[in-house]
């Protein structure tokens, strides 16, 4: 009898060990005797290295979540379990954001465990959402790439310039829709020829190094493009001058629809994160283009940027506009003429969509309050008699 009890006790202990081992593996729970596999977990925290350099100078437009999903269906359900027949615990409309907790796989389908602003948790089908996050370290890596490119070029005695091809075209007459192999549109940009004879487009205001002078042409290397390209010299500018020691960068992440603002500390010589927000960038349309990627100088800042409709008539305005590529500006929420009477309503409505899909004509959109912060940060002492303003010191836009 005692031997039977001992054997039974050993069997129970072994079963308990196996159960506990399964619970500490890569499975969150079991439904209908099938495991839910956890693919990824999200803590909605900045990486420790970024926390150390986060020195906020503007927090007016708070970011709700660092890791999140947004709804891309008209209406989507949050469910108690990752099962389309499970109880619904929440309903959310198009563009609504939910805090992301886990990415899981159940019965071959991908679901997200998410939480709304009221703390309600549940599962939502990944097919009805898009995931977004903030790539702080990638932005810093891009800044270091720019620093290295500028410093090494100047140390080697090379001349640095920026592309200057912008020609205002408010009526959008004869837009140049041709694209190169990298997906860059020709409109307001510079066509270069590679050694292989390929036509490759360098976006306006791109930082380039002069490799060789060839009469009225020059062989250049743009930091954002692998190939060396021959371009007309007349389309290059020394304004603003490109020097070592720049301290201000706006880094725009098209894939995740957000941007981060960095400033180099005079005390520590470290790059500090001073702001980060959701955004909306460009999409190809009748009047619009995708926002170009690259490394850009900033030639001008404006109090007000007017924009036109498809007939060339004034359609509205956007405040605190910073030009970085062709007719592409970073600016506050645009308000159409007919929306002025109820401006606050339309500001809220449009700013709700930041951090979701692309949708501008090329520009990078932020809230009006955050745009004013950037304007003041870049200009310092504005000329109140002019709409156009010069920067108080060098600054760059990095779009990736």
Backbone angles phi, psi at 119, to 5 degrees: 90, 5
Structure-token pair, residue 8 = 């039974």
Q: pLDDT tier at 11 (50, 70, 90 boundaries)? A: very low
Report pLDDT for 33: 59
- Please state, in angstroms and rounded to a whole number, the distance separating the CA atoms of residues 141 and 295: 13
CATH entry, 248-399, from 2.40.440.10, 1.10.3720.10, 1.10.10.370, 2.40.30.10: 2.40.440.10
pLDDT of 22 > 80? The answer is no
pLDDT at 32: 64
One fold for 2-61+64-133 and 248-399: no
The pLDDT mean for the chain works out to 93
Q: Percentage of the chain with pLDDT > 70?
A: 92
Q: Identify the CATH homologous superfamily for domain 2-61+64-133.
A: SH3 Domains (2.30.30.40)
- Tokens 């196996």 correspond to what residue? 18
Task: Flag the least confident range among 113-122, 252-261, 311-320.
Answer: 311-320
Q: What pLDDT is recorded for position 179? A: 98
Q: Is the pLDDT of residue 4 over 80?
A: no
**So what's the pLDDT on residue 5?**
47
Buried/exposed 128-138: b ≥16 CB within 10 Å, e otherwise: bbeebbbbbee
At residue 321 the predicted structure's pLDDT band, cuts being 50, 70 and 90, is: very high
Per DSSP, the three-state class of 147 is: helix
Average pLDDT over residues 101-112: 97
Give the contacts of 266 (CB within 8 A, at least 6 positions apart).
247
Of 206 and 19, the structure prediction assigns the larger pLDDT to 206
Mean pLDDT of 228-245: 98
Counting other chains too, the contacts that 28-33 makes at CB distance below 8 Å and 24 or more residues apart are 28/102, 28/104, 28/113, 31/81, 31/82, 31/83, 31/106
Whether 23 shows a pLDDT value over 50: the answer reads no
pLDDT value of residue 28 = 52
Q: Is the pLDDT assigned to residue 24 strictly greater than 50? A: no
> Which two tokens mark 315?
């359609």
Tell me the pLDDT tens digit for each residue of 130-161: 999 999 999 999 999 999 999 999 999 999 99
- CA angle in degrees (0–180, nearest 5) for 296-400-320: 55
Task: Map residue 266 onto helix, strand or coil.
Answer: coil
- Write the DSSP string, 77-127: EEESSSSTTSPEEEEEETT-EEEEEEEEEETTEEEEEEE-TT--EEEEEGG
Q: SS3 of 333, please?
A: coil
Q: What is the pLDDT of residues 362-377, one digit of tens each?
A: 999 999 999 999 999 9
**Three-state SS sequence of 22-84:** HHCCCEEEEECCEEEEEEEECCCCCCHHHHHCECCCCCCCCCCCCEEEEECCCEEEEECCCCC
Yes or no: say if 69 and 130 are a contact pair by the CB < 8 Å rule: yes
pTM, whole model, 2 decimals?
A: 0.91
**What confidence tier does 56 reach under pLDDT thresholds 50, 70, 90?**
very high
3-state secondary structure of 13: helix
pLDDT higher than threshold 90 for residue 7: no
Report the pLDDT averaged over residues 112-136: 98
**pLDDT at 229 exceeding the cut of 90:** yes
**Tokens representing 32?**
């209908």
Residue-range domain boundaries for the chain: 2-61+64-133, 137-237, 248-399
């Amino acid at each position: 009898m005692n031997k039977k009890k001992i054997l039974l006790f050993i069997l129970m202990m072994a079963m308990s060990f196996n159960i506990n081992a399964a619970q500490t593996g890569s499975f969150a729970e079991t439904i209908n005797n099938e495991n839910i596999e956890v693919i990824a977990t999200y803590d909605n925290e900045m990486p420790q290295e970024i926390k150390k350099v986060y020195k906020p100078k503007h927090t007016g437009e708070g970011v709700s979540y660092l890791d999140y999903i947004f709804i891309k269906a008209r209406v989507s359900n949050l469910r108690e379990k990752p099962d389309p027949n499970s109880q619904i615990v929440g309903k959310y409309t198009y563009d609504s954001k939910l805090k992301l907790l886990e990415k899981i796989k159940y019965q071959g389908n991908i679901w997200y465990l998410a939480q709304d602003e009221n703390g309600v948790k549940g599962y939502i089908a990944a097919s009805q959402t898009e995931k977004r996050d903030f790539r702080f370290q990638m932005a810093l890596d891009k800044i270091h790439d720019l620093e290295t490119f500028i410093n090494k070029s100047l140390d080697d005695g090379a001349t640095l310039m920026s592309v200057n091809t912008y020609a205002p075209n408010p009526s959008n007459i004869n837009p140049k829709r041709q694209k190169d192999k990298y997906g860059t549109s020709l409109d307001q940009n510079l066509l270069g020829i590679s050694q292989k004879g390929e036509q490759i487009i360098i976006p306006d205001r791109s930082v380039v190094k002069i490799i060789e002078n060839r009469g009225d042409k020059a062989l250049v290397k743009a930091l954002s493009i692998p190939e060396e390209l021959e371009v007309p010299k007349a389309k290059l500018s020394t304004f603003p001058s490109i020097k070592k020691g720049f301290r201000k960068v706006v880094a725009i992440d098209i894939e995740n629809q957000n941007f981060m603002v960095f400033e180099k500390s005079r005390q520590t010589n470290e790059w500090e994160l001073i702001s980060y927000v959701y955004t909306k960038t460009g999409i190809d349309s009748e009047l619009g283009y995708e926002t170009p990627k690259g490394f850009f100088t900033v030639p001008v800042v404006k109090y007000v940027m007017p924009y036109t409709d498809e007939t060339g008539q004034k359609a509205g305005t956007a405040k605190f506009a910073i030009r970085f590529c062709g007719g592409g500006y970073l600016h506050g929420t645009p308000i159409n003429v007919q929306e002025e009477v109820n401006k606050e309503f339309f500001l809220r409505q449009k700013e709700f969509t930041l951090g979701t899909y692309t949708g501008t004509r090329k520009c990078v959109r932020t809230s009006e309050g955050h745009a004013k912060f950037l304007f003041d940060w870049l200009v310092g002492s504005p000329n109140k008699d002019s709409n156009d303003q010069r920067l108080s010191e060098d600054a760059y836009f990095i779009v990736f």
